[in-house]
């Protein structure tokens, strides 16, 4: 259908300037022993009526495979610094029942003792079923270098070497697990030990010195800042790297936690006004600034940038009260607003593809910024899942510069108004396929956008869109497909493309260049 009138937005894309690879690991996941994430969300047990593969919810495996989930971070989170890996091996009925850090958050009368039914063997089986890389967060807060090194040996030592390899084999896995990504603690400034940077840096060095050398090549991730603090916690970053100066311990990754923290906000997860809508999306857009600021500090100590950022917890976190079940603490409904937040966050990751090695959404199921909600036999994919699905072609492609010219939005905010970008977007190239993703945050105006490609012409194009007439729309167990993907018409004109982006929408466009 011909679209008349001048475009509202001009999108200039330069595939000939394709830069850094967008690591597939930017689309990673975080799962923790917290509420109903592991137990019920993922692990239902082999005797469950819920379809399962050796105890793991089959639907979870299938849906994660569909988005090519590249990695899984486990077992926490705050839980990691109280977790002793030996509690989770051996005959399930003999495993100890231990204290779970998150127990203090459970409503009275609900027991959340850790059964240790899901341990390292179950986790590795899950990774293999999904074809995701394991990323293990080790216990620094209440553990020791020896416990850490033993865990690495248990996971990676080949059969026939150390006794821990024989123990692993006796527990059912002769072949090494081959874990490359190791997080050395979690939030060591808070639940991971309440430390100052020099204290943590000294411990970090003791943990990574004498790290067992069995393959694969280790990627060691140090605890980084609480970047959603008012000052972005830049002091943690400078304090850590200052304390590491003149030491030789490798730091391959530096973790950054950036929640869009609305726990004290006026609105709720699925009940908010237009100001609340825009505030969440603006906070997602701030991801780029946060990455840039920490990178700047890191440059002072590490000009060659041997250390990359690992954003291993990100998402929007609302105030409690909308949990899907009492035991599913920190679960919340995810609306169309959260889908747009996801899209603008990925745009920021793509723009900083040279700086960010990995990112893990917090958390994949039944907690904070989830792709799935599960309660017994009930299961749904949230609108956040749809964005992971739409953005999949960016994984492993090369980031391409994209310039957007469009009027800003004057967004309502606490009785006043603030200006924010009228569109967000990013682009990537794989062979001759150009992917352009665009987000229109406006609650009022659709935008006709003209996409122009320098150094090439668009020979074919197609699009997909995620939107809904109701800004609060979300999927529920009764209406699991309320917010869903739909085709978006793309019109080609003289080597350029034109699309009409509905208001409050995310679009993914795929172009074949000639």
Residues that bind ligand AHR (CB under 6 A): 32, 76-78, 186-187, 313, 362-363, 368
Least distance to ligand AHR, CB of residue 7, Å: 41
Residue 134 · residue 181 · CB < 8 Å:
yes
- Which is the catalytic residue, given 32, 313, 323, 389? 313
Strand-pair partners of 486 = 465
Nearest to 392 by CA among 324, 431, 343, 453: 343
Shortest distance (Å) from residue 330 CB to ligand AHR: 6
Measured distance between the N- and C-terminal CA atoms of the chain, rounded to whole angstroms:
23
365 or 449, CB closer to ligand AHR? 365
Q: Which residue is nearest to ligand AHR (CB)?
A: 77
Q: Maximum Cα–Cα distance for the chain, whole Å? A: 73
Give the burial string for 417-427 (b: 16+ CB within 10 Å, else e).
Answer: eeebbbbbbbb
> Closest CB to ligand AHR among 256 and 368?
368
DSSP class of residue 103?
G
Residue 212 makes CB contacts below 8 A (sequence gap 6+) with: 149, 152, 153, 156, 157
**Nearest distance, CB of residue 448 and ligand AHR, angstroms:** 40
**Both tokens of residue 118?**
């899901």
- Residues 164, 157: contact at Cβ < 8 Å? yes
Q: What CA–CA distance (Å, rounded) separates 359 from 349?
A: 8
Nearer to ligand AHR, 184 or 368 (CB): 368
**How many CB atoms are located within 10 Å of the residue 116 CB?**
23
By DSSP bridging, strand 378-381 and strand 505-513 are: unpaired
Comparing CB distances to ligand AHR, the nearer of 368 and 395 is 368
Q: Which of 122, 187, 283, 323 is catalytic?
A: 187
Closest approach of ligand AHR to the CB of residue 187, in Å: 5
**Closer CB to ligand AHR, 72 or 390, in the complex:** 72
CB of 304 to ligand AHR, least distance (A): 29
Is residue 187 annotated as part of the catalytic site, yes or no? yes
Choose between 176 and 192: whose C-beta lies nearer to ligand AHR: 192
| Spatial distance between the Cα atoms of 104 and 121, rounded to a whole number of angstroms | 27
Judged by DSSP in three states, 164 sits in helix
Q: Which two tokens stand for residue 431?
A: 């062979």
Query: 313 an active-site residue?
Result: yes
Q: Which two tokens stand for residue 270?
A: 């699925």
The residues assigned a catalytic role are: 187, 313
């Amino acid at each position: 259908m011909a679209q008349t009138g001048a475009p509202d937005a001009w999108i200039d894309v330069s595939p000939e300037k394709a830069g850094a690879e967008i690591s597939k690991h930017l689309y990673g996941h975080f799962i923790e022993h917290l509420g109903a994430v592991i137990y019920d969300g993922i692990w239902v047990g082999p005797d469950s009526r819920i379809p399962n593969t050796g105890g793991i919810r089959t639907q979870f495996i299938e849906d994660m495979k569909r988005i090519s989930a590249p990695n899984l971070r486990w077992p926490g989170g705050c839980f990691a610094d109280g977790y002793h890996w030996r509690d989770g091996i051996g005959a399930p009925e003999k495993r100890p029942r231990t204290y779970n850090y998150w127990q203090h958050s459970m409503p009275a009368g609900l027991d959340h003792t850790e059964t240790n039914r899901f341990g390292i063997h179950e986790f590795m089986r899950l990774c293999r079923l999904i074809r995701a890389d394991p990323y293990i967060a080790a216990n620094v807060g209440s553990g020791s270098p020896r416990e850490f090194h033993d865990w690495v040996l248990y996971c990676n030592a080949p059969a026939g070497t150390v006794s821990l390899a024989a123990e692993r084999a006796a527990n059912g896995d002769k072949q090494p697990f081959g874990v490359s990504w190791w997080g050395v603690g979690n939030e060591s400034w808070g639940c991971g030990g309440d430390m100052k940077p020099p204290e943590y840096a000294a411990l970090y060095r003791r943990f990574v010195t004498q790290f067992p050398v069995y393959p694969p090549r280790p990627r060691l991730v140090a605890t980084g800042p609480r970047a959603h603090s008012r000052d972005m916690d830049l002091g943690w970053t400078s304090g850590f790297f200052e304390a590491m100066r003149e030491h030789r311990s490798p730091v391959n990754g530096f973790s950054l936690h950036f929640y869009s923290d609305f726990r004290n906000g006026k609105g709720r997860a699925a009940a908010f006004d237009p100001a609340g809508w825009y505030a969440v999306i603006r906070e997602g857009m701030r991801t780029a600034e946060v990455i840039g600021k920490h990178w700047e500090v890191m440059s002072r100590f590490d000009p060659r940038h041997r250390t990359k950022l690992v954003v291993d917890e990100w998402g929007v976190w609302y105030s409690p009260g909308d949990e899907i079940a009492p035991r599913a603490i920190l679960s919340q409904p995810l609306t169309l607003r959260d889908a747009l937040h996801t899209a603008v966050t990925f745009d920021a990751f793509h723009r900083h593809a040279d700086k960010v090695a990995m990112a893990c959404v917090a958390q994949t199921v039944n907690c904070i910024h989830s792709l799935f909600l599960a309660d017994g036999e009930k299961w749904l994919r949230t609108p956040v899942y749809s964005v992971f699905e739409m953005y999949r072609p960016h994984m492993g492609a090369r980031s391409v510069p994209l310039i957007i010219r469009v009027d800003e939005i004057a967004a309502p905010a606490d009785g006043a108004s603030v200006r924010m970008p009228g569109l967000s977007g990013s682009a990537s190239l794989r062979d001759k396929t150009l992917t352009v993703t665009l987000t229109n945050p406006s609650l009022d105006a659709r935008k006709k956008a003209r996409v122009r490609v320098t150094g090439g012409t668009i020979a074919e194009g197609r699009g997909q869109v995620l939107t809904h007439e109701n800004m609060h729309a979300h999927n529920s167990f009764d209406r699991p497909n309320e917010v869903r993907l739909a085709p978006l018409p793309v019109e080609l004109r003289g080597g350029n493309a034109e699309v009409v982006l509905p208001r409050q929408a995310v679009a993914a466009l795929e172009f074949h260049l000639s």
